[in-house]
Structure 1
């Protein structure tokens, strides 16, 4: 089944749901306003959310309608009726944890005050009918009209995260090796925070897509792309974790020689370059850089143990930096290996 996902698709679906809902209510000679309100708020990002929240909104709307009828019969059309209907509806919805239906229930309660003048019981059941109509129509529209597909958005965001990760890695390691402490506390943290925000947004889209697959399963290449995207995001999150460790770890004076710094900076630049543009990644070159970093790591580790009678209780900054960098190198290798495996399927 072909999916559609373009800006404004939810607006289109909302318009279609309103039209169909109002048309049905007019045919049944029911006031459309309550059904339309329900239809508007029931168009969710996924069909699963529409159904799940719809099951909450129906009893919530029934509560709002019941309170409206009750207080109209006691106080008539008065300011007290509006306030009591709203307050009791909100309190009851909170009591029964019907949070998703709170808005539509309260709107229904206060809107009913104006239109009910007699036949309170019949009016109550009509409101239930209009609410049910809005829920069913909007859920059906969400399922069959422009069904959402977030796969392309997810892939685009992951590509953006990968490129930004390359920029952040280069900036962080350059400032660490050049010992620019002030910049580390500001620019890098802002970049990492922006990256984390984008990762969370992508995770939300993945959750939406997982929910959507219950009703519109992905097949073939789309399914493979979605699974690959989840794996890629997981590895990028781990890379983000290692970068965050570096920024939040106090690093004292680094005792590397100029030659060692040059090797590490070159490795960082190559790594950042390969993340910013996947065509620049080559397995052989990546392995060569990783080997050089690993050799420096073990040499530093050996020097520390030889030059100290007692082993230090904390890791020296050189080992911390190299450990995080080697970890990122390994994650990038796995990231691109997964990409290559996906293309070969």
Structure 2
């Protein structure tokens, strides 16, 4: 476990794939160089990527080997052979849209120039078979040895994203309600941008895990992961709503003391729930949503009474109320999904 955490699962799997590939080639009596090269570049973040790209790399490697044999037969072991093998391999793979096979095909092509001296057709098929060995071994190692499992990482990111969104909701609303400082908006925007990077990373890991569910996950784990993806989706939308508050041109909301206190209470409540400082309660959510809705319709009614000249933009007070209601509802959706997941755990 310590070794795995120190150098990473992918590095360990690459080393094992290289070892097994070399052993197989030595046992058959073939040079392992080309098979090892293929095994190194074929270990991917997901099993599905290894299989998909392997199906591309095989014909690409065949193209590279064919060009190497052709130009060796025409020009022998010369600089022209290296150049033409590389150029034609790249051009052909590019035109055939074998982009994922470009690297291994080009390496195979130029590396073959120095090792082929006779029996060109036999050498071509040997290189093709060794490439197949490298592809097969690396794919099987990726599938069965330390298989990629991003779920714990995604769960950790979802939890931290939810907590940070809760804190940002509270900080941003309190800033607008209590101060006129524009400098704080830049600080909050930077925090939102950093959080967006974490969300994007979690979404990438989620796609990786989705691609591999058919290879490793039990039915229970698939349901659990599905709920986790749903929660991440809710957090992405929540991030969007909080960003809308920052992007609005007006810096402070004009409300009376009672309305201000209500907004501060709700934003603080969202932060506490998402940080799990207090337990989620659907009745509390419903109560706070009802009070916010009353404030929203009251503000909307007041807005209709304004002159048309004042309605070039949606009033900031109305925007703040709408976004806070949306964030509150998303908080409820987030935890309802979590509760459903816990119920499934108990049933299993």
Q: TM-score, normalised by structure 2?
A: 0.91
Report 1:46-57 matches (<5 A). Answer: 46-57=46-57
Change (3 A) 1:281 1:224: same
Report the CA distance between 1:89 and its aligned residue: 1.1
Residue ranges of structure 1 left out of the alignment (5+ in a row): none
- Measured against aligned partners, the alpha-carbon deviations of 1:275-296 in whole angstroms (never above 9, x if no partner) come to 1226443334333333332222
Report the CA distance between 1:8 and its aligned residue: 1.6
- Measured against aligned partners, the alpha-carbon deviations of 1:307-335 in whole angstroms (never above 9, x if no partner) come to 54889353211001110011101110121
Report the CA distance between 1:53 and its aligned residue: 0.3
Corresponding residue for residue 292 of structure 1: 291
- Measured against aligned partners, the alpha-carbon deviations of 1:243-262 in whole angstroms (never above 9, x if no partner) come to 12222222265321244223
The CA distance in 2 between the partners of 1:259 and 1:217, in whole Å, is 51
Determine helix, strand or coil for the equivalent of 1:215: helix
The CA distance in 2 between the partners of 1:241 and 1:309, in whole Å, is 29
Q: Is the 8 A contact 1:35 1:132 kept in 2?
A: yes
Report 1:13-162 matches (<5 A). Answer: 13-162=13-162
Corresponding residue for residue 181 of structure 1: 182
Corresponding residue for residue 272 of structure 2: 273
Greater mean deviation of Cα atoms: 117-126 or 259-268: 259-268
Report 1:166-315 matches (<5 A). Answer: 166-177=166-177, 178-184=179-185, 186-220=186-220, 222-251=221-250, 254-277=253-276, 279-308=278-307, 312-315=311-314
The CA distance in 2 between the partners of 1:234 and 1:144, in whole Å, is 30
The CA distance in 2 between the partners of 1:160 and 1:253, in whole Å, is 28
Q: Is the 8 A contact 2:82 2:113 kept in 1?
A: yes
Determine helix, strand or coil for the equivalent of 1:30: coil
Q: Is the 8 A contact 1:41 1:104 kept in 2?
A: yes
What is the alpha-carbon root mean square deviation over aligned residues?
2.0
Change (3 A) 1:143 1:309: closer
Aligned residues between the structures: 339
Greater mean deviation of Cα atoms: 311-320 or 227-236: 311-320
The CA distance in 1 between the partners of 2:63 and 2:328, in whole Å, is 58
Q: Is the 8 A contact 2:35 2:133 kept in 1?
A: yes
- Measured against aligned partners, the alpha-carbon deviations of 1:220-268 in whole angstroms (never above 9, x if no partner) come to 2x23321110110111111011112222222265321244223212221
Q: Is the 8 A contact 2:48 2:212 kept in 1?
A: yes
The CA distance in 2 between the partners of 1:174 and 1:278, in whole Å, is 19
Q: TM-score, normalised by structure 1?
A: 0.92
